[in-house]
Amino acid sequence: MKTSLRLLSLFLGAISISHAEVSTKSKPKAQEEPKPTTPPPAAVSTVSIEDISGFENYPKQIQSMVQSALALTRLELSYQYGSHEPSKGGMDCSGTVFHVLEFQDLKSVPRQSDEMCEWVQKKSQLHLTPTATAFDHTEFADLQPGDLLFWTNTTETKRKLPVTHVMIYLGKLKKSGKRIVFGASDGRTFEGHRRSGVSVFDFSLPKADSPTRFYGYGTAPGLVPAPPTPTPPAPAVIVAAKEEVRKAVAIVTEAKPEAKPEPKKTVTVEAKPKAPTVVKAKSTTPKKSVAVATKKKTPPPPQKSPVEKTIDRAVDSVRRFFR
């Protein structure tokens, strides 16, 4: 009898459990609660341009962008998802960067962080940091103030490019040498204090055990005009050769201004002729000069008389005797 009662109770219990499961499955699941429309209260920090190391050496476009960003941090704007207008009292991360870039008169600025990253990748240069765990890594060698900074996996996403967060790099503080960034966030810190809203934040890389990763950085297209491409100078050897040719041409040009037929010049030669010659004038017109100089002819002595010849012979005989 007791065994029958136990079997009956077990049977009734199984029926009740089955009924409960059916009722649970047929009941619809509760909907997720919508995100609160009221933004969290603003708790922001700011700095001045005098606090930033080397600000005076920034390009003018970067100085203008940093100044406009710091001006927003003084408005006590909260973190408000989906907003890019300060008039609404707050903005989100990509909306804040979008507002600053448009204020710099940049055209076709994307609205989402992943689109901004793709924009930099296609029209500027995106520096990826897949292995960097510290700022002294070579992957951060090209980081400059004003660059856009991109993070991934800050929230769940199905985007083609897994970028979910963007901010702007401001540089280093003079006092501490720490790197700082500008943007909008609800939970990041500045100098050890949790911040929320449009603010200045510490630039820190995610920890090794965090699912969040720093993705990369790059300059916004069109923000800084590209420097003019210099004309490559000619090799030194070619330049020297051209200079030598130029000097040679100048010397020749000065020596021979124009090729004109030169009149024949009379060359006066002083030389002794083999035999004296007498030049006869062919015409009555006197010549201005005689080309060849000649010696005057000595006239022959007069004929001696027989007496003088006899005396000379006698003198010669006496001279020969005394030799």
Bigger pLDDT: 235 vs 7: 235
CATH architecture type of domain 49-218:
Alpha-Beta Complex (3.90)
Q: Which of 31-40, 175-184, 218-227 has the highest mean pLDDT?
A: 175-184
Tokens of 244: 């030598």
Region 31-43: mean pLDDT is 64
d(CA 41, CA 35): 15
Amino acid making up residue 106: L
End-to-end Cα spacing for the chain: 203
217: which strand partners?
Answer: 127, 149
Is the confidence at residue 264, as pLDDT, over 50?
yes
d(CA 43, CA 40): 9
Bigger pLDDT: 85 vs 245: 85
Percent of the chain with pLDDT over 70: 65
In this structure, the chain runs to a length of: 323
Whole-number pLDDT of residue 110: 97
Bigger pLDDT: 193 vs 234: 193
- Band (pLDDT 50/70/90 cuts) for residue 31 is very low
- Band (pLDDT 50/70/90 cuts) for residue 262 is low
**CA dist 240 to 107, 141, 181, 237, 251, Å?**
48, 39, 52, 5, 17
Predicted TM-score (pTM) of the model is 0.62
Whole-number pLDDT of residue 17: 43
pLDDT digits (tens, 9 = 90+) for 214-231: 999 999 999 988 766 666
Bigger pLDDT: 135 vs 39: 135
Whole-number pLDDT of residue 46: 97
167 phi/psi in degrees, rounded to 5: -145, 180
Bigger pLDDT: 167 vs 11: 167
Is the confidence at residue 29, as pLDDT, over 50?
no
Note the Cα 67 to chain centre separation in Å: 25
Bigger pLDDT: 138 vs 34: 138
Region 168-176: mean pLDDT is 97
Whole-number pLDDT of residue 26: 39
Annotated domain spans of the chain: 49-218
Least confident span in 90-94, 127-131, 138-142, 283-287: 283-287
Whole-number pLDDT of residue 158: 79
Region 54-81: mean pLDDT is 97
172: which strand partners?
Answer: 179
Whole-number pLDDT of residue 310: 74
Strands (DSSP E) contained in 7-162 are 78-79, 90-91, 127-128, 148-152
